[in-house]
Chain A
């Protein structure tokens, strides 16, 4: 029993990058765990070119196992509703997120229903019964971790808000209903696959911003709430 997790850790160590560099980890749960494969590449490229995060160019895809403990940032995408998680998988996720990890859930299609939202609500309640899924307030630090006050936009505009589960004062789960990855998806010639509705390209830019902010938030936490930033940020906001 003890040897098995250790073996997993050893296996993992062979894959993961050295040091503390950001790596995007997609959880492989259902057959359609990555509806927009090109989007991930776009995100990572953008992070590398416009921030100091400099992630490796490819994301890691993992089943829910002990290996996730080498990847503090987990990503779960899907449509319709979330797949069922076993008790062991739920416990693993709970441990990971309690240890400081972050799970980003992107709803890629809602078909005009709230099934996915309800399944996320049930899923988060299963992981953290004491914490509820709630709207992330617009003045939260996640909306200023790199870009100032981006909208919670994506390919769609299902909800103007991000949702999250708060744990020890930080967001352990961040959930978007607007298909953020869809806004990033490109075809082989580099053009965006989907148009953003209803806001068009302006909405896509907001999706870019909020993506960076979510990743930056996972790496810096409440950094932008520090006193030293407050005046600068307030001054900039006033200049708009």
Chain B
């Protein structure tokens, strides 16, 4: 094109330089320039084969929707049958069907195809088909335009389209995109919703409810031309429990009530854990630990300290003392199950109760409760707890005849346990001498050591007991860490906070939390958000085991410690994701996330046709949108129509002739 313009410009220059006014030369020059500008074409008879036209029929399930007694797919076939003779005259036809993938087939199979596919990936499939066509080819898309996954695509050949099905007015749908895996009762929690609309309806009210009633509501308004809206919605879980199901609903319902609701399930943890703390006597460990617990607003503390032993004599009447009777019977026989965590610090129960009183405590722990035993001269004295119903469930074994040791020792924390994994590297920990250790023979086979002496003797160990957890800390001298310095004070506080969280299975201690839906439909996009507790030097790998086989997905880091995994789901069935977090010492944590993909496509929820999508695709591909199902074969433009036209003004020999002619004119006029 540029070359043509340059040539024309050059010709005009030459023309203007002609000083000779002879009409012949002038006319000749004008004729040459006119011929160049007009660029006339002559239709030429061609022996080349007719261009290829690929007839592509959408066989996704939405094409089975019947309107006016006939399904969309049957209507498309009927139109093609009607226009087939004319199409054959002009094109070399090839036949395709597609849903989540495309298939080329014989004409008979094309007309036998049913609408049974799940997803219809129109954009992707059309891009693939147009790429496979020969030069000069084109495509005719027969679809309702419901694209399961609209995505930007490049179409290398013209794509003409005809739309089938009715466009439903005023339909709106809601879908839960993301929600947290675990939340705290009473804490503001967030989920992400996607709302889609067709038609004029622009306003809706979204509610979140559970069995007890509505817990959140939000009104939203679609902007003009806006058809998809992702919104964040907050809710406050009211009751704790595992996998509590919440329902999200759109109000008022509309033409398709089936897509006006969705659900999600989360585990709700108590925001306030009830702790019973009994100390055998006043002491610095009690004092510090109590202050730490009281500073935590998530703990409801009930505390008893034995301020006076039965053998102590107080020379004042009882009403001058602030002491209250230790309600041992009520606590151990009646109320023990109300506490999420029981802490017994240097408490020799044998002074107050018989071993049988500990049976309800054991039952409570096995049902999901937690126990922390902290040492001292009274803990394990005469093997008391080992001889109680709790004995077999403790993470330590009895050392017969053992006594409270007053030897000095230094502490080391296990880097492998969640309680201490982030604080084990505090080097000052090993500089503070501690004194005082309750006797124990070693850890139980299923126990895990959390703290140990520099020589490797266990100081604190944990184990499971049924659904509950137990920690035994053999020393009551950790308070010295609190006083020794800022770093060890931090260790002290974090150690106990983490211990409480681990014992009560709080999500606060989860190395990672994964949030995402657990039920999808084919064609939907898996959205998984992975939040790490410790962002530093962590790598995340995600292995996806789908019915089609294993594959590794690439998590994208959104911010330090926050990763997102996206994947289009193509296979129905059970999918499993194994998410591994690796640190400096190898895999630090792993988790399985299981979800299912239903056999049906997401389009089943809303069967409104979307002809505007077809129009957009045709426009992008330089093809033609043929309108609804009443199109004619003659409406389809011939692919690459210009190739049969002969344009002499643009041929090389004509351009050469023009250049020589103008050069001669110039030479003639300037040399005479």
Q: Is B484 in contact with A20, judged by CB distance below 8 angstroms?
A: no
Q: Is A9 in contact with B431, judged by CB distance below 8 angstroms?
A: yes
User: Which B264-302 residues have a C-beta within 8 angstroms of A?
Assistant: 280-288, 290-291, 294, 301-302
A230, closest chain B residue (CB): B324
B10 on the interface (CB 8 Å rule)? Answer: no
Question: How far apart are the CA atoms of A228 and B300 in the complex, in Å?
Answer: 12
Encode A7-23 as 1/0 by CB contact (under 8 A) with B: 00110011011111110
Min CB–CB distance A103 → chain B (angstroms): 14
Q: With a 10 A CB-CB cut-off, give which of A50, A209, A233 has the most chain B CB atoms.
A: A50
User: Which A176-221 residues have a C-beta within 8 angstroms of B?
Assistant: 205, 209, 216, 218-221
A53 on the interface (CB 8 Å rule)? Answer: yes
Q: Known: A9-B431, A18-B435, A145-B322. Contact between A52 and B291, CB under 8 A?
A: no
Q: Known: A18-B477, A52-B280. Contact between A146 and B302, CB under 8 A?
A: no
Please give, as numbers and ranges, the residues of chain A lying within 8 Å of B302 by CB-CB distance: 226, 228
Encode B292-315 as 1/0 by CB contact (under 8 A) with A: 001000000111111111001111
Q: Known: A9-B484, A221-B291. Contact between A18 and B316, CB under 8 A?
A: no
Q: Known: A13-B435, A53-B282, A147-B316. Contact between A220 and B290, CB under 8 A?
A: yes
Q: With a 10 A CB-CB cut-off, give which of B301, B377, B477 has the most chain A CB atoms.
A: B477
B433, closest chain A residue (CB): A13
Question: How far apart are the CA atoms of A233 and B303 in the complex, in Å?
Answer: 16
Q: Known: A10-B433, A13-B408, A220-B286. Contact between A101 and B483, CB under 8 A?
A: yes
Q: With a 10 A CB-CB cut-off, give which of A19, A50, A146 has the most chain B CB atoms.
A: A19
B285, closest chain A residue (CB): A20
Partner of A52, one of B287, B309, B322: B309
B669 on the interface (CB 8 Å rule)? Answer: no
B235 on the interface (CB 8 Å rule)? Answer: no
Q: Known: A22-B282, A72-B483. Contact between A229 and B322, CB under 8 A?
A: yes
Q: Is B287 in contact with A221, judged by CB distance below 8 angstroms?
A: yes
Q: Is A100 in contact with B320, judged by CB distance below 8 angstroms?
A: no
B376 on the interface (CB 8 Å rule)? Answer: yes
A99 on the interface (CB 8 Å rule)? Answer: yes
Please give, as numbers and ranges, the residues of chain A lying within 8 Å of B346 by CB-CB distance: 19-20
Please give, as numbers and ranges, the residues of chain A lying within 8 Å of B475 by CB-CB distance: 19
Please give, as numbers and ranges, the residues of chain A lying within 8 Å of B406 by CB-CB distance: 17-18
Min CB–CB distance B179 → chain A (angstroms): 37
Question: How far apart are the CA atoms of A54 and B434 in the complex, in Å?
Answer: 20
Encode A38-62 as 1/0 by CB contact (under 8 A) with B: 0000000000011111100000000
A117 on the interface (CB 8 Å rule)? Answer: no
Partner of B286, one of A9, A20, A224: A20
Please give, as numbers and ranges, the residues of chain B lying within 8 Å of A19 by CB-CB distance: 283, 285, 346, 375-377, 404, 435-436, 475-477
Q: Is B307 in contact with A216, judged by CB distance below 8 angstroms?
A: yes
Please give, as numbers and ranges, the residues of chain A lying within 8 Å of B405 by CB-CB distance: 18
Question: How far apart are the CA atoms of A194 and B479 in the complex, in Å?
Answer: 38
Q: With a 10 A CB-CB cut-off, give which of A21, A49, A147, A240 has the most chain B CB atoms.
A: A21
A96 on the interface (CB 8 Å rule)? Answer: yes
Min CB–CB distance B550 → chain A (angstroms): 52
Q: Is B316 in contact with A209, judged by CB distance below 8 angstroms?
A: yes
Q: Is A20 in contact with B320, judged by CB distance below 8 angstroms?
A: no
Please give, as numbers and ranges, the residues of chain A lying within 8 Å of B314 by CB-CB distance: 50-51
Please give, as numbers and ranges, the residues of chain B lying within 8 Å of A224 by CB-CB distance: 322
A87 on the interface (CB 8 Å rule)? Answer: no
Please give, as numbers and ranges, the residues of chain A lying within 8 Å of B46 by CB-CB distance: none
A205, closest chain B residue (CB): B316
User: How many interface residues does B have (CB within 8 Å)?
Assistant: 55
Encode A108-143 as 1/0 by CB contact (under 8 A) with B: 000000000000000000000000000000000000
Please give, as numbers and ranges, the residues of chain A lying within 8 Å of B612 by CB-CB distance: none
Q: Is B282 in contact with A240, judged by CB distance below 8 angstroms?
A: no
B480 on the interface (CB 8 Å rule)? Answer: yes
B207 on the interface (CB 8 Å rule)? Answer: no
B332 on the interface (CB 8 Å rule)? Answer: no
Min CB–CB distance B220 → chain A (angstroms): 45
Question: How far apart are the CA atoms of A162 and B12 in the complex, in Å?
Answer: 111
Min CB–CB distance A46 → chain B (angstroms): 9
Q: Is A240 in contact with B482, judged by CB distance below 8 angstroms?
A: no
Please give, as numbers and ranges, the residues of chain A lying within 8 Å of B408 by CB-CB distance: 13-14
B319 on the interface (CB 8 Å rule)? Answer: yes
Min CB–CB distance A11 → chain B (angstroms): 10
Min CB–CB distance B496 → chain A (angstroms): 14
Partner of A240, one of B319, B476, B483: B319
Min CB–CB distance A94 → chain B (angstroms): 13
Q: Is B435 in contact with A54, judged by CB distance below 8 angstroms?
A: no
Q: With a 10 A CB-CB cut-off, give which of A52, A72, A229, A232 has the most chain B CB atoms.
A: A52
Q: Is B479 in contact with A233, judged by CB distance below 8 angstroms?
A: no
Q: Is A20 in contact with B305, judged by CB distance below 8 angstroms?
A: no
Q: Is B286 in contact with A52, judged by CB distance below 8 angstroms?
A: no
Min CB–CB distance B314 → chain A (angstroms): 5
Min CB–CB distance A2 → chain B (angstroms): 9
User: Which A68-124 residues have a C-beta within 8 angstroms of B?
Assistant: 69-70, 72, 96, 99-101
Q: Is B303 in contact with A223, judged by CB distance below 8 angstroms?
A: yes
Please give, as numbers and ranges, the residues of chain B lying within 8 Å of A9 by CB-CB distance: 431-433, 484
Q: Known: A52-B307, A220-B287. Contact between A100 and B316, CB under 8 A?
A: no
Question: How far apart are the CA atoms of A8 and B308 in the complex, in Å?
Answer: 34
Question: How far apart are the CA atoms of A53 and B307 in the complex, in Å?
Answer: 7
Min CB–CB distance A72 → chain B (angstroms): 5
Question: How far apart are the CA atoms of A16 and B280 in the complex, in Å?
Answer: 21
Q: Is A100 in contact with B288, judged by CB distance below 8 angstroms?
A: yes
A239 on the interface (CB 8 Å rule)? Answer: yes
A148 on the interface (CB 8 Å rule)? Answer: yes
B489 on the interface (CB 8 Å rule)? Answer: yes
Please give, as numbers and ranges, the residues of chain B lying within 8 Å of A220 by CB-CB distance: 282, 286-287, 290, 305, 307
Question: How far apart are the CA atoms of A232 and B479 in the complex, in Å?
Answer: 31
Min CB–CB distance B574 → chain A (angstroms): 51
Please give, as numbers and ranges, the residues of chain B lying within 8 Å of A16 by CB-CB distance: 435
Min CB–CB distance B265 → chain A (angstroms): 36
A144 on the interface (CB 8 Å rule)? Answer: yes
Please give, as numbers and ranges, the residues of chain A lying within 8 Å of B315 by CB-CB distance: 50
Partner of B287, one of A100, A146, A233: A100
Q: With a 10 A CB-CB cut-off, give which of B313, B324, B376, B406 has the most chain A CB atoms.
A: B324
B535 on the interface (CB 8 Å rule)? Answer: no
Question: How far apart are the CA atoms of A16 and B407 in the complex, in Å?
Answer: 11
B48 on the interface (CB 8 Å rule)? Answer: no
Q: Is A219 in contact with B282, judged by CB distance below 8 angstroms?
A: yes
Q: Is B281 in contact with A54, judged by CB distance below 8 angstroms?
A: yes
Please give, as numbers and ranges, the residues of chain B lying within 8 Å of A20 by CB-CB distance: 283-286, 346, 376, 436, 476-477, 479
Please give, as numbers and ranges, the residues of chain B lying within 8 Å of A54 by CB-CB distance: 281
User: Which B462-479 residues have a C-beta within 8 angstroms of A?
Assistant: 475-477, 479
Min CB–CB distance A233 → chain B (angstroms): 6
B323 on the interface (CB 8 Å rule)? Answer: yes
Encode B443-470 as 1/0 by CB contact (under 8 A) with A: 0000000000000000000000000000
Pick 8 A–B contacts, CB within 8 A, sort by A.
A19-B476, A22-B282, A72-B284, A147-B316, A147-B322, A220-B290, A226-B301, A229-B322
Given A52-B282, A218-B287, A228-B303, 15 more contacts at CB 8 Å?
A18-B377, A18-B435, A19-B283, A19-B375, A20-B284, A20-B346, A72-B287, A145-B322, A146-B307, A146-B322, A148-B321, A170-B291, A226-B301, A228-B324, A236-B322
Q: What 3 A-B pairs are tightest by C-beta distance, nearest first?
A: A18-B436, A219-B282, A19-B436
Binding site for B on A (CB under 8 A): 6, 9-10, 13-14, 16-22, 49-54, 69-70, 72, 96, 99-101, 144-148, 170, 205, 209, 216, 218-224, 226, 228-229, 232-233, 236, 239-240
